[in-house]
Structure 1
Amino acid sequence: MTVRVGGICQMETGMARHGATPMLGWTGVLVDGRLADLYFGRDDAETDIAEGGLLRAGFLRTATYEAARKARKHLIIGRKGSGKSAICRTLAAEQSSEVTTVLVTPDALSADEIRRFELQGIPHEMAKKLIWRYVLATHIARHLVAHAAEAHGKAGRRSVSTVRNFLAANGELGDQRPRFWQIIERLRTSLSLEAFGVGITWELGGPSEGIRTANQLDVVERNLKQAIKDLACPAEHGRLLLLVDQIEDVWSNDGESDSLVIGLLRAARDVTSSFSGVSCVVFLRSDIYDLLQFPDKDKLHGDEMRVDWSESRLLELILARAQASLGVDIDTDRLWSEIFPPRMNGTPVGAYLVQHTLLRPRDIIHLCNLCRDIAEGNGHDRITERDLSEAVHQYSDWKLNDLANEYLANYPFLDGLYPIFRDHGYVVTRHAFKRRAAEPLRALAGRFPERASGLTGDDVIDVLYEIGFLGVRRNDHVVYAHDHHDRIESTDREFHIHPCFRPALRATLATSKPRYDGVLIGEMVGRDVYAGTRNIGLQRGDREFQTLQTVIDGVRRLLDRLDDAGLPAEVRVDVSANLRHILEQAETLYGSPGGIAFGIDHIQAFLSSYAQRLENDGFADGPRTSAYIRSMDDLTRRVRNQVWTPNRGGYGGSGSEG
């Protein structure tokens, strides 16, 4: 069973060991009004581990880290930005008497050669596995040579010497390691095995180049095992831990790329099971791993561990990084009330920030750094609500673009889907999406004919949920793929755009119609054009009074029925806000007869448009919602039958009764 635990890469508190100047005399405001020393680190492990980054300033040794370090789990899976590379890089930087680590990363320059590599006579996956067998074997060999010289003296040196001679003969001994493409060329031709007493390639036998290459690697691995046996290392010498990362650099979502990763997983598993004192841990993006299909994948389940994060973990991470950068042991209250504003749009600011991330360390680090940068650029000594709002909008633009780039290999059509959601509400029904998406999906199928079979409304919804763009309503809660590792069901009908992407898409309201604005009524009521009639009081028998009463009574009934209308909760909030504002404005018209015609016309036009928009957005699918929206439209028709137009002497009827 796959194990999921909280993430890692959390900073120790109270020390600014990354080089920031400690800020003494903390009083709740940054010293000298400077935000420059507040820093949350770089948003990728490869640079954050370098000098000046925060990854070296401290590290929380969670279960994920310990499982990888002790090789209890050999496959660490996580989404991009989830912290899996932080585990890998931290392990690679640590050396102890218990474990020696070696980082293995393929170079992007060799990507095409790796994907195209094949050997006559064996399947593609087996050919790719041979690459990894050779790469991992040479790393083991180099470790044996160095370890023997350092810890064993002359003991066991004969078999180790043959390993050293093999490395030298194949150009693997120096500091300059060969590129993967060079390794591939070597495997295509022939390895030099004279150090092991094999002088001519044909002596190994085999009817094809693939089998001959496999036989050569068998010779190499057999001699490595013998050298390990001859050294007979005691337990205190520790283990060798091979760490394989950045596979996404050579993966392109095609069959050859899949074969490359499958070959790696099989080779890594063989290393761990075959070489005494040696383990191999692979760090792999979840979107890559989940796409792989091969017969013995079920054998890896016991080796899997997924890196997941929670809101509390991410907030602990940010607090610890703030402490490390400032050199002051600030507490949670100070960070989230004195450096950041305590609340944003009525939500505690920490929760608000996390809600705008895909629950990944990279996201929260990126957003918090952006808040700091904007506040400093605005000349503030702390982050204000305005700074945070500006940061969230800019961050949303970046993340929408980042999402398309992140999944470019998997879903190259992704950015072509964004216009379907732009300037609409963030609550999306399946029916409305399929209707709005029909024409764009046909156009995308023309641009990407090889993807056409998957560009259907239902398939695209599955994709958008899988990558975190959409959430789904389940049991009165909206869940996202990073919260629940499940799939969309055909019965799911209501989806929500993730808060991270709403500002960039101008989809910050549940419904696509802007909220009712009655300011215009007040402005028109006060104009001189109505001055001659403003002091005329309304009588119950007046048609104006009756029409206004129709509006007010109708809106009250709509409010009373709203909870039973079957609309999504967020849509009900928007509808309620609009109706209450309409009711408030309508009641003010009793005292302004001159503005009644304009005011009622404004209200009924809005309600008519609003009802149409709710229907277009797919909220009229069910019988209750359909009846409710129809009653809203019925109200506008009743009002139109009582509307009048202004004339020079006052207001006369222009509508008909029938």
Structure 2
Amino acid sequence: MSTTVRSLTRGKMLKISEVENFGAIDADADELLRECFQNHPAYIAAKENKKFLILGRKGSGKTAIFKRFLTEHSAHEFAYGHSFDDYPWQHHDLQAQTGVPEERRYFHSWKYLTLMGLAKILLNLDQSQPWSDESIESVQALEDFVVDSYGSRDPDVRQLFSPEKELRFKGTLKIPYLEISGERVRVKELPPHIQEVNQVIQEHVLRALTPDNSYYICFDQLDLGFVKSDPAYSQRLVGLILAARDLFLAARNRGKRLNVVVFLRDDIYQDLQFEDKNKITENFSELVEWHESSGGLTLKGLMESRFSRVLGDDSGPFVSWESVFDESREMPSRQTKYKHICDRTFLRPRDVIKFCNEILKQYKTLGAGDQFDNQVIHEARSGYSDYLLNELDDEIAKHVPQYKEYLEVVKELGSLQFSLENFSAAWVRRPSLSGIDPVAALGQLFEFSVVGYLKPGGRGGGSEYVWRYRDPRARFNAASEVFRVHPGFKEALDLLTGRS
């Protein structure tokens, strides 16, 4: 059995060299995710129906929370998840309504999709149905509609908006004041009628939901295919957020425990513009964030739960950071090893897991002592830095196609710290970048936390570097005198400490 999932039955603490790894950076591949999951405030807020919009950087743990919802099973809790890596967006796009405000073009198509997810739960999973005389009629109406329209009580979500599908309305699910030929309508002709359709389906769903049960419809991977300049993408996201809020509040007003949980990257959310955004941000959103030492869940606590799982024993399963890392000797920068590692991450679980796995790899190669020391950390930085650069490529490539050329300018400077004057001088020496504003390019690198800028101290004194990953609301300041490359890229870009 893999030591990453070994139960604590050995009666003694394992040696570090016996450990395979401390988990994977991807929630889909992380064997330790379920066993070492920590109840982040964002998870609790969504679970208790207090917030429906969960925001966070890529890799911050949104998908871990999403998977937690889907894997927790109970006789009184039900969850259905939409993950859009293979979702037929071309069919959904055909559902855009015309003659309505842009932010509401996809409002009703998202609501319909969510209501169908709830119908699937009610018809296939919820054994409490029908829970009352009132719900008998509604459950039967939903079953008749779903089976007649899609041929199954459990239709494939990817087929809900197939243009040639025919929705069939009859009996208690007939649409009042709506004339439909033969009590049926093709999906491609649905947009003019979808508001009335949703109104009737929503009423039956809310009647059928058992008051003592909890229901969750979750949306993840919404950044796949994201293009910042695509207005249709923004309209889709806004429509989903507004539809989620509408159903969330409608269920709350009926005394039903329903949450439509939307997981979204905070940087994408910051760029969305729509009415009532501030109300949603203040009242219904929660940020998935991790800290170094205080203010919530810490990366140290995250790793200690993993150390305990793969190294601990029955008599004392908790394994502290200091049991694994030799903190008696500072790093050359006079930092603790923990601080040294955190500074090279974006304060994301995947980053610290990857760094610790690289340290473990070097530890086994060098045959070091009983703990991770300065040498193995130093040797691990190169592999980790390459990983972080590859992560950047996943995030930035489609938004800033020439970003690698931008990084070549940074490499030419040769140092972590530089001035705008230095950057501009190196920029003009590259003909391939002719016609591109170096200040705008630097701003784009700031947006993805490749660089930060020095902010002079105010009344409280003490200058500090501003990083987008630490503050999603931070904006680029081209007037700053000093810029700094994120330390995690130092080895991959072959940079020196200090100023160019």
Query: How high is the TM-score relative to the length of structure 1?
Result: 0.65
1:463 CA displacement: 2.1
Greater shift, 191-200 or 371-380, is seen at 191-200
1:214 CA displacement: 4.6
Do residues 481 (structure 1) and 496 (structure 2) align? Answer: no
CA contact (8 A) 2:385 2:489 kept: yes
1:408 CA displacement: 2.3
1:7-34: per-residue Cα shift (whole Å, max 9, x none)?
A: xxxxxxxxx99335655444xxx54xx6
1:314-463 matched pairs, under 5 angstroms? 314-328=299-313, 329-337=318-326, 342-345=329-332, 346-380=334-368, 382-423=371-412, 424-440=414-430, 443-444=432-433, 455-463=436-444
1:441-491: per-residue Cα shift (whole Å, max 9, x none)?
A: x63477xxxxxxxx4222222222221111221223223222334223343
Say which of 168, 175, 179 aligns to 1:192.
Answer: 168
Equivalent position of 1:260 in the other structure = 236
1:64-86: per-residue Cα shift (whole Å, max 9, x none)?
A: 22111112111111000111221
Say which of 149, 166, 190 aligns to 2:145.
Answer: 166
Do residues 504 (structure 1) and 492 (structure 2) align? Answer: yes
1:493 CA displacement: 1.7
- C-alpha distance in 2 between matches for 1:420 and 1:281: 42
CA-atom RMSD in angstroms: 3.2
- C-alpha distance in 2 between matches for 1:47 and 1:295: 39
CA contact (8 A) 2:55 2:264 kept: yes
Do residues 290 (structure 1) and 270 (structure 2) align? Answer: yes
Q: SS state of the match for residue 91, structure 1?
A: helix
1:124 CA displacement: 6.0
- C-alpha distance in 2 between matches for 1:408 and 1:417: 12
1:388-435: per-residue Cα shift (whole Å, max 9, x none)?
A: 222211211221232122122322222221111114221111222122
- C-alpha distance in 2 between matches for 1:167 and 1:141: 8
1:223-264: per-residue Cα shift (whole Å, max 9, x none)?
A: 4413533x5734xx2221211111112433312211221121
Alignment coverage as a number of residue pairs: 470
Q: SS state of the match for residue 498, structure 2?
A: coil
1:174-214: per-residue Cα shift (whole Å, max 9, x none)?
A: 556231xx33324x7642223523597358999x9999535
Equivalent position of 1:85 in the other structure = 63
Say which of 190, 197, 200 aligns to 1:222.
Answer: 200
1:178-257 matched pairs, under 5 angstroms? 178-179=157-158, 182-186=159-163, 190-194=166-170, 196-197=173-174, 201-202=180-181, 213-226=191-204, 228-229=206-207, 231=208, 233-234=210-211, 237-253=212-228, 254-257=230-233
- C-alpha distance in 1 between matches for 2:494 and 2:201: 64
CA contact (8 A) 1:20 1:37 kept: no
**Cα distance change, pair 386–65 in 1 and its aligned pair in 2 (3 A):** same
Unpaired runs of 5+ residues, structure 2, are 458-462
CA contact (8 A) 2:168 2:184 kept: no
**Cα distance change, pair 399–114 in 1 and its aligned pair in 2 (3 A):** farther
- C-alpha distance in 2 between matches for 1:354 and 1:416: 28
**Cα distance change, pair 172–438 in 1 and its aligned pair in 2 (3 A):** farther
| Letter of the 2:222 counterpart | I
| Letter of the 2:156 counterpart | R
CA contact (8 A) 2:443 2:478 kept: no
Equivalent position of 2:115 in the other structure = 137
1:508 CA displacement: 2.1
**Cα distance change, pair 264–351 in 1 and its aligned pair in 2 (3 A):** same
1:262-307: per-residue Cα shift (whole Å, max 9, x none)?
A: 1211211121122342221100012221222233423322212222
1:332 CA displacement: 3.2
Q: SS state of the match for residue 357, structure 1?
A: coil
Q: SS state of the match for residue 463, structure 1?
A: helix
Q: SS state of the match for residue 280, structure 1?
A: strand
| Letter of the 2:49 counterpart | A
CA contact (8 A) 1:111 1:249 kept: no
1:121-132 matched pairs, under 5 angstroms? 125-132=103-110
Do residues 177 (structure 1) and 152 (structure 2) align? Answer: no
CA contact (8 A) 2:122 2:209 kept: no
**Cα distance change, pair 415–308 in 1 and its aligned pair in 2 (3 A):** same
1:102 CA displacement: 2.0
- C-alpha distance in 1 between matches for 2:305 and 2:126: 41
Q: Which has the higher contact order (CA 8 A, sep 6+)?
A: 2
Equivalent position of 2:259 in the other structure = 279
| Letter of the 1:393 counterpart | S
- C-alpha distance in 1 between matches for 2:468 and 2:111: 35
Do residues 19 (structure 1) and 1 (structure 2) align? Answer: no
**Cα distance change, pair 326–170 in 1 and its aligned pair in 2 (3 A):** farther
**Cα distance change, pair 343–23 in 1 and its aligned pair in 2 (3 A):** farther
CA contact (8 A) 1:22 1:326 kept: no
CA contact (8 A) 2:122 2:129 kept: no
1:71-120: per-residue Cα shift (whole Å, max 9, x none)?
A: 21111110001112212211222234664222122243524554576456
CA contact (8 A) 1:399 1:501 kept: yes
- C-alpha distance in 1 between matches for 2:478 and 2:161: 46
Greater shift, 288-297 or 310-319, is seen at 288-297
Q: SS state of the match for residue 58, structure 2?
A: coil
Equivalent position of 2:279 in the other structure = 299
**Cα distance change, pair 219–20 in 1 and its aligned pair in 2 (3 A):** same
- C-alpha distance in 2 between matches for 1:477 and 1:429: 16
Do residues 311 (structure 1) and 288 (structure 2) align? Answer: no
CA contact (8 A) 2:148 2:168 kept: yes
